[in-house]
């Protein structure tokens, strides 16, 4: 896609016209370049500077190609496309999405530091602003950002390679996510790592109710100590 805004527009078209739509995966160019290098293959299509890649998956008992092609026929911003209904070719294309995390881990091994990962979500129209904020945090720390995610959910996996000040990155990104009306954890939970930022998405009443429920079900605080409640450490 020429821009992320074009990708968001295309998502609306697909939702309206393709009943078999199953997934719309967003891959930023840095992620595509990384996984292509890891696989020692060229990307299946090209994207311009400032653009992005979409991997669109449809699931139906009949071939959905006609509805899909009609939906994208006059959509602005499409630079290149690869379409297939054949299982081997489909699996080949999926490698460029499914092995991004593997490629990130392999590259991180070379830096001597594990990747710093933030799994967040914002309203879909705010994705561009979130990416700008996330990149600014990477630039301040002098590290590489590898973003990819699920466009329809507004969910981004932000991976920072070589990060030295993870606290500063998290503070900048998570506060901005909350300001954008999003959530600090989309798929991977809050756990211990994000507990100190839980107040950004839950007010005092919510947190008090949560503690009361926990105390009623786990009065000795032995289940997952420290998770969601930092004052419970053992």
Is 108 part of a structural domain of the chain?
no
Question: Of the candidates 120, 115, 127, 117, which has an alpha carbon nearest to the alpha carbon of residue 187?
Answer: 120
Distance CA 200, CA 231 (A): 18
Phi, psi (degrees; rounded to nearest 5) at 51: -95, -165
**pLDDT score of 195:** 81
Judge whether 167 lies within some domain: yes
b/e burial code for range 124-154 (CB count within 10 A of at least 16 → b)? bebbbebbebbeebbeebebbbbbbbbbbeb
pLDDT band at 86 (very low <50, low <70, confident <90, very high): confident
Same domain, 125 and 198: yes
Can you give the residue range of the structural domain that contains 135?
A: 121-217
145 found inside a domain: yes
**Confidence class of residue 150 from pLDDT cuts 50, 70 and 90?**
very high
Q: Are residues 97 and 130 in the same domain?
A: no
Domain membership flag for residue 17: yes
- Whether residue 14 sits in one domain with residue 92: yes
Q: Between 98 and 226, whose confidence is greater?
A: 98
- Residue 233's pLDDT band, with cuts at 50, 70 and 90, is very low
∠ CA 231-223-182, rounded to 5°: 65
What is the domain-level CATH number for residue 161?
A: 3.30.70.2740
Look at residue 17 and tell me whether its pLDDT is greater than 60: yes
96 and 148 in a common domain? no
pTM of this structure: 0.88
Question: Are 126 and 76 contained in the same domain?
Answer: no
User: Is 205 a domain residue?
Assistant: yes
The per-residue pLDDT of the chain, averaged, comes to: 91
Based on the fold, state whether residues 46 and 130 are members of the same structural domain.
no
53-58, strands of its sheet edge to edge: 53-58, 21-27, 144-150, 155-161, 116-121
Does residue 170 sit within a domain? yes
For residues 126 and 87, state if they share a domain: no
Distance CA 121, CA 225 (A): 26
The per-residue pLDDT for 231 is 58
How far is it, in rounded angstroms, from Cα 181 to Cα 184? Answer: 10
Report pLDDT for 229: 67
Q: Of 68, 69, 87, 76, give the one whose Cα is nearest residue 51.
A: 76
Please tell me the distance from the alpha carbon of residue 15 to that of residue 77, in angstroms, as a whole number.
17
Residues 50-65: tens digit of each pLDDT: 899 999 999 888 888 8
pLDDT at site 230: 58
Q: Are residues 127 and 163 in the same domain?
A: yes
Residue 181 has pLDDT above 70, yes or no: yes
* Residue 143, domain member (yes or no): yes
Pair (43, 132) in one structural domain? no
- Specify the CATH number for the domain of residue 61: 3.30.70.2190
């Amino acid at each position: 896609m020429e821009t992320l805004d074009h990708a968001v527009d295309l998502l609306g078209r697909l939702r309206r016209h393709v009943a078999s739509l199953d997934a719309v995966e967003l891959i930023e160019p840095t992620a595509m370049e990384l996984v292509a290098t890891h696989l020692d293959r060229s990307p299946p299509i090209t994207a311009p500077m400032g653009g992005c890649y979409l991997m669109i998956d449809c699931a139906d008992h009949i071939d959905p190609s006609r509805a899909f092609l009609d939906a994208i026929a006059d959509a602005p911003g499409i630079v290149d496309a690869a379409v297939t209904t054949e299982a081997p070719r489909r699996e080949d294309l999926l490698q460029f999405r499914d092995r991004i995390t593997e490629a990130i881990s392999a590259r991180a091994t070379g830096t001597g530091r594990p990747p710093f990962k933030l799994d967040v979500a914002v309203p879909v129209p705010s994705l561009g602003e979130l990416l700008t904020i996330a990149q600014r945090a990477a630039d301040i720390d002098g590290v590489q950002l590898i973003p990819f995610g699920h466009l329809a959910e507004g969910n981004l996996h932000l991976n920072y390679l070589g990060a030295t000040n993870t606290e500063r990155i998290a503070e900048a990104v998570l506060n901005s996510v909350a300001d954008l009306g999003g959530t600090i954890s989309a798929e991977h939970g809050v756990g211990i790592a994000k507990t100190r930022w839980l107040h950004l998405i839950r007010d005092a009443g919510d947190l008090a109710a949560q503690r009361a429920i926990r105390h009623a079900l786990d009065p000795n605080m032995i289940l997952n100590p420290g998770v969601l409640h930092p004052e419970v450490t053992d």
